[in-house]
A and B are shown apart, each in its own frame.
Chain A
Amino acid sequence: MFKRLVVPLTSIAAIVTLCMVVAPTSANERHAFSKDLYVIGKSATINKPVAGSVQVYRGNVTVANVIAGDLLVLGGAVVFTGAGRVEGNLIYAASKVTNADNRVRGHVYPLASVEGATASMTKNAIVASLLLVWLITAIVVTLMSGREIRLSSIEVRASGLHCFVLGLVAFTSFVLTAIAFSYLIPYVIGVPLLAALAVFAILTKVYGMIAVFHAAGTIVAGSRSRQQLASRTWLRGDLAMVVIGALILGAIRLIPIIGPIVWGLASVFAIGTALATKFGRREPWFLAWRPSEA
């Protein structure tokens, strides 16, 4: 009974935690802690000078006075009017910024740079370029360690739900660990710890995605019988499965709305399968302790 509840409960716990981290629920609607200002789910107008930073989640902000710190806007429009300016940086994601010329002393960062780049280029061209990079990386990694990729691919097909839950929990863990390490940035150890975490997370994602490419390619174009395998000249082998999987997922990625969702889900599976198989080595992450026998 308990074992049946583990997977759904773990998934719910991971999703709730992720939501809590991504959209800070501890700050209800509009709160000011010390000198910072938090606005969640509603629009705000900065009429008075703010000594700290301003964070706006899922809402529009009109900046009519000075913000001494940074302005962070996720999912809303930013309009500068009157004497409005930001002394720090303007960081935004999925937002529209108007009249910001010469009003931001620091830098203006689109948090998701791909979205920022689409202002001057078509989004699909960027996705196709990134797919090219993915394809080259996948080919190189498969040539170097095809067996490991295959073992991880088998795991994601044999135990998909476990990989998904593990990926979800691991992603949440990465975010939380990054936040925890960000407290250590004032000290020397914080920056290398964050860098190490970032490298590990990127390696996990890249390796896992290649395993997911292999799994997708095998599901769609894998041989079902020995005769079928013998009759094929192109559609056989790890390399072919990875290329086919990458092309299929890349084509889906080009579809608006559905593409990013599918790619995101594939990323969760990827992190899960990479960690579940210890990057295809199939070794335990933790050694079990047993008392020594006399």
Chain B
Amino acid sequence: MMTCDEYLQDPEEHAAHVASCETCRALIEELDDIVDVRHRAISLDALPLAPWEGASHRTWPLVAAGLAAVLILAIALFFASGVSSLNGIASAVMSAIPPVQPVVRVLQLTSHAIGVPVIALLFVAINSILFLLLRRSPKGIDV
């Protein structure tokens, strides 16, 4: 005796089952019904703007204006403070790089101050939380 599951797995092979099973016959009839698809006019302008729309556009005048504005501001501020603009910008950029030796020394001093057990405990706890947070999938979509 053929079961309904076996029939549903391969309806063409077990076509004879339909004749003997009321449930499967009703299912087939339902599937054979003509589906009335009603086409509705979609207004694209009514849909929300997708993030990627117009994203590849490159506004070079705005980029040039932004760069020029910041450059002029930096030069003017250095000029006002009596520092050579070029040297000032170069020094400012170099000053943003943290000095390695004192940073490492501070790390070592801090670790001695706190103590190895506390550091180990905090290290495991925070990285476990980080691991759990990183398991969450991103929410934002760009379709």
Indicate if the CB atoms of A117 and B126 lie closer than 8 Å. Answer: no
Indicate if the CB atoms of B95 and A114 lie closer than 8 Å. Answer: yes
Query: B18 in the interface, Cβ–Cβ < 8 Å?
Result: no
Indicate if the CB atoms of B135 and A14 lie closer than 8 Å. Answer: no
Q: How far is the CB of B119 from chain A (nearest CB, A)?
A: 6
Q: Which A residue sits closest to B47, measured CB to CB?
A: A226
Question: Which of A129, A133, A151, A183 has the most chain B CB atoms closer than 10 A to its own CB?
Answer: A129
Indicate if the CB atoms of B113 and A226 lie closer than 8 Å. Answer: no
The stretch from A79-87, A94-102, A235-243, A257-265 touching chain B is: A235-243
Q: Which A residue sits closest to B116, measured CB to CB?
A: A183
Query: A220 in the interface, Cβ–Cβ < 8 Å?
Result: no
Q: Which A residue sits closest to B72, measured CB to CB?
A: A128
- Give the docked Cα–Cα distance between A157 and B140 (Å): 8
If A128-B74, A179-B107, A238-B56 touch, whether A162 touches B139 (CB-CB below 8 Å) is yes
- Give the docked Cα–Cα distance between A146 and B57 (Å): 11
- Give the docked Cα–Cα distance between A249 and B44 (Å): 34
Q: Which residues of B contact A46 (CB under 8 A)?
A: none
Indicate if the CB atoms of A223 and B49 lie closer than 8 Å. Answer: yes
Indicate if the CB atoms of B57 and A172 lie closer than 8 Å. Answer: no
Indicate if the CB atoms of B133 and A169 lie closer than 8 Å. Answer: yes
Q: Which A residue sits closest to B119, measured CB to CB?
A: A179
Indicate if the CB atoms of A237 and B55 lie closer than 8 Å. Answer: yes
- Give the docked Cα–Cα distance between A5 and B141 (Å): 26
Q: Which residues of B contact A136 (CB under 8 A)?
A: 67
If A113-B98, A177-B123, A236-B57 touch, whether A125 touches B92 (CB-CB below 8 Å) is yes
- Give the docked Cα–Cα distance between A147 and B136 (Å): 21
- One digit per residue, 1 when the CB lies within 8 angstroms of any chain A CB and 0 when it does not, for chain B 77-119 equals 1101101000011011101111101111111111111111011
Question: Which of A121, A166, A180, A277 touches B78 (beta carbons < 8 Å)?
Answer: A121
Indicate if the CB atoms of A26 and B118 lie closer than 8 Å. Answer: yes
- One digit per residue, 1 when the CB lies within 8 angstroms of any chain B CB and 0 when it does not, for chain A 47-64 equals 000000101000000000
**Interface residues, chain A, with chain B CB atoms under 8 Å away:** 10, 13-14, 17, 20-21, 24, 26-27, 33, 36, 38, 53, 55, 70, 72, 89, 91, 107, 109, 111, 113-114, 116-117, 120-122, 124-126, 128-133, 135-136, 139, 143, 146-147, 150-151, 154-159, 162, 165-166, 169-170, 172-173, 176-180, 182-183, 185, 194, 223-227, 229, 233-240, 243-244, 246-247, 250, 275-277, 282, 284-286
Question: Beyond A26-B114, A114-B95: 14 further Cβ-contacts under 8 Å?
Answer: A17-B126, A33-B113, A38-B113, A72-B106, A109-B101, A109-B102, A125-B80, A126-B92, A128-B70, A130-B93, A136-B67, A155-B140, A179-B111, A240-B63
Q: Can you list 28 contacts pairing A with B, beta carbon distance less than 8 Å? A: A14-B126, A27-B113, A55-B109, A72-B105, A72-B106, A113-B98, A114-B92, A117-B92, A120-B83, A121-B83, A121-B92, A125-B74, A126-B95, A132-B67, A139-B63, A146-B55, A150-B142, A151-B138, A151-B142, A155-B140, A162-B136, A182-B107, A225-B49, A237-B57, A239-B63, A243-B66, A246-B66, A250-B70
